[in-house]
Amino acid sequence: MSNKLRIFVPVKRVIDFAVKPRVNKAGTGVETTGVKFSINPFCDIAVEEALLLKEGNEGLVENIHVASVGPSKAQDILRQALAKGADDSTLVEMGPKDAELEPLGVAKVLKKLIEEQKSNLVILGKQAIDGDNGQTGQILAGLLKWPQATQASKVSVNGDKVEVTREVDGGVETVAAKLPMIITTDLRLNEPRYVTLPNIMKAKKKPLKVVKIGEFDGVANRLETLKVAEPAKRQAGIKVETVDELVSKLKETGTL
């Protein structure tokens, strides 16, 4: 394999991280009408890392492809990634009534795109902040039989070898693998840039290929959502004036 990187970055459109989601009345999901959507924060970090690898290593990165599986509105986040510096993109379009794919289905779709793109490095977010599954990158690695380094806080490429520092319970660990490989991003990896208006204008001319989800086989969901409910509300607490009161109230609860 050539040492040139062809980076593939899957991105997801999710309810903006600052919005507090509300469960819908029917108890089937969360309210999405009139709610602000944005790129999943971890995906934004993945896009940024691809750009940093390109900018920080002269001639290393041949292409950065971004892709999303979602509604036609997910074009927005692809355009945003293009505006930041990605080269081209694919939207695997789902109808407004299609149920969102589970990570296994998404990974199968992505695998096909990655093979078409002849990518040798895939950078994904470690989890989407809506489903909180944290699976897609690892499943993709399993399907492709590529090595994986999840929860990355540092990535360095040296020839065909990639060193990744991972955030694990209790600290960090460093692993290395040869390309092709899968990396998922943790919050600490980088600080995503903002898009500028001129770049948004330029990005409108960059390629955005739309394919329909119907072109992919074997991606059907395996889970049925029986219900979605509000979490149990906590009993209203009390406010106290002094540390003494705090101590005595905590003693009453038996936890102090």
Partner 1 sequence: MFALRNQVRTHIARGFASTRFSLSTLAIIEQNNGTIAGSTLNALTAAKELGGDVTALVAGSKAADVAAQVAKISGIAAVLTASSPAYDHGLPENYADLVAAATKEGGFTHVVAPSSAFGKNVLPRVSALLDATQISDVTKIESEDTFVRPIYAGNAIETVKSNDPIKLLTIRASAFPAAELEGGSAGVSDAKDPAAEPQSEWLSEELTKSERPDLGGAKKVVSGGRGLKNKENFDKIMFPLADALGAAVGASRAAVDSGFADNSLQVGQTGKVVAPELYIAVGISGAIQHLAGMKDSKVIAAINKDADAPIFEVADVGLVADLFDAVPELTTKVKA
Residue 57 lies near partner 1 (rule: CB under 8 A): no
Name the pairing type of β-strands 121-125 and 88-93: unpaired
Is 112 a binding residue for partner 1 by CB under 8 A? The answer is no
> Tokens 């003494």 — which residue?
244
How many residues bind partner 1 (CB under 8 A)? The answer is: 80
**Could you tell me the CA-to-CA distances from 179 to 7, 79, 225, 232 in Å, in that order?**
11, 28, 38, 46
Name the residue among 93, 85, 83, 84 with its Cα closest to residue 113.
Answer: 93
Binding positions for partner 1, 202-231, rule CB under 8 A: 222-231
Nearest CB to partner 1, comparing residues 20 and 205: 20
102, 119, 216, 219: which one contacts partner 1 (CB under 8 A)? Answer: 102
33 binds partner 1 (CB under 8 A): no
Task: Find the binder of partner 1 among 3, 75, 117, 153 (CB under 8 A).
Answer: 153
Interface segment toward partner 1; rule CB under 8 A; list 1-9, 77-85, 174-182, 196-204: 174-182
Q: Of the two residues 156 and 199, which places its CB atom closer to partner 1 in the complex?
A: 156
Per rule CB under 8 A, is residue 117 in the interface with partner 1? no
Phi, psi of 82 (to 5 degrees): -65, -40
The binder of partner 1 chosen from 151, 183, 216, 219 (CB under 8 A): 151
CA end-to-end span of the chain, whole Å?
Answer: 61
A 10 A CB-CB count for 244 gives 9
Q: Which member of 142, 199, 206, 208 binds partner 1 (CB under 8 A)?
A: 142
Vertex 219 angle, CA 112 and 109, to 5°: 20
Backbone φ and ψ of 178, nearest 5°: -95, 150
Q: Is 133 in the site for partner 1 (CB under 8 A)?
A: yes
